[in-house]
Structure 1
């Protein structure tokens, strides 16, 4: 139960009358005592195996990314449904193993891609499923967000729990984080883009810019998809207040995220910074969707709410399943391999 779990997942679960918070697990007696005091957990422990002895119905895995495979695998094998933070793993083969395990066990496996549950994400998916753009030929994904302080270990991210400051190594030690901006932020963007296209990367070529940081701050990635489509994935760590749109009443600055999908029959544009969604088709469809305020603001109540609903047997869609997490990790892992090798590399592992 790290900083993001304490600021998002646990409060979302605690607000539900049908959820019993049984056990919290993390390092440190003081933060564990604080979690118990603030949210009413019955038990706390520093041992995740001890936590799983409580016959849990559902588990949230929000440890550093380097431990996700170990923790999620044990939780699934214990019989629990699992929500796992992104990136689901660092190694894509382990991500596919978790997806396979969940399917074999008949367990629900939800990845924490919040935008897939936001109004702009839901509407974009509806448009792609109902109308589409024909054969997808090119996908442009561009993102910038205020993570410069976080990834240079000089400050926290906006929205971090005040009493549970993030450990720098969780974000800046590649052994724990898998890298910098790519897993921290671009995994979100690809979680949305790959959900909309239902495609999978075949080859990846990338350049990365660390500046003076331990991990990448900026990324320029080219992708050839298995469908034959081409794509670009661009990411930048910017200053927290550098946004074109900030609406009153929003918890934190907007992410500067655009996803554009071009096909042989039309195109779809989703601009999450500006709450703008447009589909155009050559057969005459030209729709700019009337979205509510804050439609593109990043919020992550959808994944934990879905975990609970699925655990209770409700028929709700899992908008961020395990295979989507694995396809996302394939891109991120291949990007680092390419940056190191200096050339294009294969992305698909199965």
Structure 2
């Protein structure tokens, strides 16, 4: 991830995979974490929260030094640190924090809610003469009428043990939910009286990307496993990020419709 920069390229890959009978597994590690897998199963088993009306997604992570070319990403493997331009040359990366991190946040939020973006109004900020944006703020209208907010910020390396802040909140016609991987919370409430707010093990929400390659290997071996980060989901994240960057540049509300597969 990000899956691609342009929505048309993303949907072309999805179509190609479908046409050739192949699987696409995208590196959205949180979607494969047991905490998230159990929550999505619980949500499905109890009928969800009805028609989604409002969503808020917030993320912050230790990318301040990385995106200003003053340091490395703390989770990068020391023996395989990518060239700095991978992150901070917009011709290669497509952007800053949005592409680097909000791709993950959207991968989780759209996985949980099933939503697809319709239009985006966004602001971005690049303090410290950064070559790409460090911070993003966006208002989103989704297909079906739901509205939402998406925010992302480049935190300091060393703050909070470098643990990602990532929280998804949603309100629907039949209930609401909170999925917070920083505080290990997975709360679901329904208007029919059902509620679950389990005590999760410490570090249940800490990020790793072991799940996607393991699932890819199992699928290649013909095993019956669930792909929690398919290409179709990733293409929906690309649609929103593309509109986010276009909106930040134009100062206008930007539609996803004219650049995506119907």
TM over 0.5: yes
TM-score range, shorter chain: over 0.9
| Equivalent position to 1:305, from 177, 196, 214 | 214
Contact kept? 1:156, 1:166, Cα under 8 Å: no
Query: Is the partner of 1:109 in helix, strand or coil?
Result: coil
Aligned residue number for residue 288 of structure 1: 197
Aligned residue number for residue 117 of structure 1: 32
2:99 counterpart of 1:99 = no
Q: CA deviation at 1:210?
A: 0.8
Query: Is the partner of 1:235 in helix, strand or coil?
Result: strand
Aligned residue number for residue 122 of structure 2: 206
Q: CA deviation at 1:306?
A: 0.5
Q: CA deviation at 1:165?
A: 2.1
TM-superposition CA deviations, 1:107-154 (whole Å, max 9, x none): 111000000011221122113212211111001000000000110111
2:232 counterpart of 1:323 = yes
2:49 counterpart of 1:133 = yes
Name the CA distance, whole Å, in 1 between partners of 2:130 and 2:51. 40
TM-score, normalization by structure 1: 0.72
Structure 2 unaligned segments of length 5 or more: list them.
none
Contact kept? 1:119, 1:291, Cα under 8 Å: no
Name the CA distance, whole Å, in 2 between partners of 1:241 and 1:227. 41
| Equivalent position to 1:150, from 60, 66, 73 | 66
Aligned residue number for residue 221 of structure 1: 138
Structure 1 unaligned segments of length 5 or more: list them.
1-85, 247-252
Name the CA distance, whole Å, in 1 between partners of 2:124 and 2:75. 26
Name the CA distance, whole Å, in 2 between partners of 1:87 and 1:157. 16
Contact kept? 1:124, 1:277, Cα under 8 Å: yes
2:163 counterpart of 1:254 = yes
Aligned residue number for residue 341 of structure 1: 250
Contact kept? 1:222, 1:231, Cα under 8 Å: yes
2:71 counterpart of 1:182 = no
Query: Is the partner of 2:102 in helix, strand or coil?
Result: helix
Query: Is the partner of 2:234 in helix, strand or coil?
Result: helix
Name the CA distance, whole Å, in 1 between partners of 2:187 and 2:54. 16
Query: Is the partner of 1:171 in helix, strand or coil?
Result: helix
2:87 counterpart of 1:171 = yes
Matches within 5 A, 1:35-50: none
Matches within 5 A, 1:224-235: 224-235=141-152
TM-superposition CA deviations, 1:85-127 (whole Å, max 9, x none): x011000110000000011001111000000011221122113
Contact kept? 1:111, 1:303, Cα under 8 Å: yes
TM-superposition CA deviations, 1:225-254 (whole Å, max 9, x none): 0021001000000112222xx5xxxxxx31
TM-score, normalization by structure 2: 0.96
Query: Is the partner of 2:85 in helix, strand or coil?
Result: helix
Name the CA distance, whole Å, in 1 between partners of 2:158 and 2:39. 27
Name the CA distance, whole Å, in 2 between partners of 1:128 and 1:206. 30
Query: Which structure is larger by alpha-carbon Rg, 1 or 2?
Result: 1
The aligned length equals 257
Name the CA distance, whole Å, in 2 between partners of 1:223 and 1:95. 20
Query: Is the partner of 2:159 in helix, strand or coil?
Result: coil
